[in-house]
A = this chain, B = another copy of it.
Amino acid sequence: MSSAAVPVRRLCVIGVGLIGGSLARALRLAGQAEEVVGCGRGLANLERARELGVIDRFETDPGRAVVGADMVLLAVPLSAMDPVMTAIAPTLEPDCVVTDGGSAKASVVEAARATLGPALPRFVPGHPIAGTENSGVEASFPELYRGRKVILTPLEETAVEAVATVKNMWEACGARVSCMSVAHHDEVLAATSHMPHVLAFALVDALSRWGDRDEIFAYAAGGFRDFTRIASSDPLMWRDICLANHEAVVAALERYTGDLTRMTEAVRRQDGEALERAFRNARDARERFLAMLES
């Protein structure tokens, strides 16, 4: 953590689920947040978050929740970013830094430009590359971000100090922070995360409608469980991500479908050489990827 770090005095987490709850837990564990205010629509979840000690208190109105906060994390579905920003803009403190955890950035930035007004330079768009297929505050844990990447996509207008403050906050949770452009983020994540989720959802959805469904699943092997784990992710969250990043997701899906069609043709003409070459390249690439992750 940089020496410029100023611990958060009052963190306001809007959306106390896996992402927001885990940030609150991690900052508390690191002694980096004096007070945490939660905000959300589900009273039961907020009460559970308070019971668990993830938050100190809560508000259900975002405009009230951010009063007095010096750091706000928006950890709500992408479709809720615009209304939440609209609600908090009038009551944000003048020195408050705002960041978010949205999995696609262009739509969040569009909402920020439309709603935040004078607070825009203190908004740092962000995306922690972490998660599990579970959701809700019960699923949150303080180690979620340890060793994981967080991407920030600051705008031309974004204040350098605001970026440093958000970077320090994530580093205090054990994350490694890097910056890139909004468009580049959305293309890379479409390829490595958004498209693979669509592929897995499409596979399980398709199989569930093929012939004798129970039999199909009964003979699925262990690999199938791993391969389809991401198809257990939150349907609403992934619907929102596909809608928010639709251009890059469609481009990635079209490119993949083209590659898959070529591979299907190789199976059809029984072209063992082409299949072996592609399969070997895939295995080698994945091994390099795992080695890179470990280094």
A residues at B contact (CB < 8 Å): 129-133, 148-149, 151, 188-189, 191-193, 196-208, 210, 213-233, 235-236, 238-240, 242-243, 246, 249-250, 253-257, 259-261, 263-264, 267-268, 270, 272, 275-276, 278-283, 285-290, 292-293
Contacts and interface: CB of A to CB of B under 8 A. Distances in A.
A253 B281 contact: no
Given A227-B226, A276-B235, A287-B232, A260 B270 contact: no
Contacts of A275: 238-239, 242-243
Contacts of A281: 205, 208
A271 to B, nearest CB: 9
Contact of A242 (B229, B257, B267, B283): B267
A223 B131 contact: yes
Copies of this chain, count: 2
A202 B292 contact: no
Given A213-B285, A289-B217, A223 B207 contact: no
B193 A224 contact: yes
Q: Which 4 A-B pairs have the closest CB atoms?
A: A235-B279, A208-B285, A204-B282, A217-B289
A240 B217 CA distance: 23
A222 B223 CA distance: 16
24 contacts: A129-B219, A129-B221, A130-B221, A131-B222, A189-B219, A192-B220, A193-B223, A196-B224, A198-B263, A199-B260, A201-B282, A204-B283, A204-B286, A205-B259, A205-B278, A205-B285, A225-B290, A231-B283, A233-B283, A235-B280, A246-B267, A249-B267, A254-B264, A257-B264
A261 to B, nearest CB: 6
Contacts of A243: 267, 270, 272, 275
A238 to B, nearest CB: 5
Nearest to A279: B235
Nearest to A221: B129
B205 A191 contact: no
A255 B210 contact: yes
A216 to B, nearest CB: 6
A110 to B, nearest CB: 14
Given A198-B267, A208-B285, A229-B226, A151 B219 contact: yes
A142 B214 CA distance: 28
A267 B253 CA distance: 10
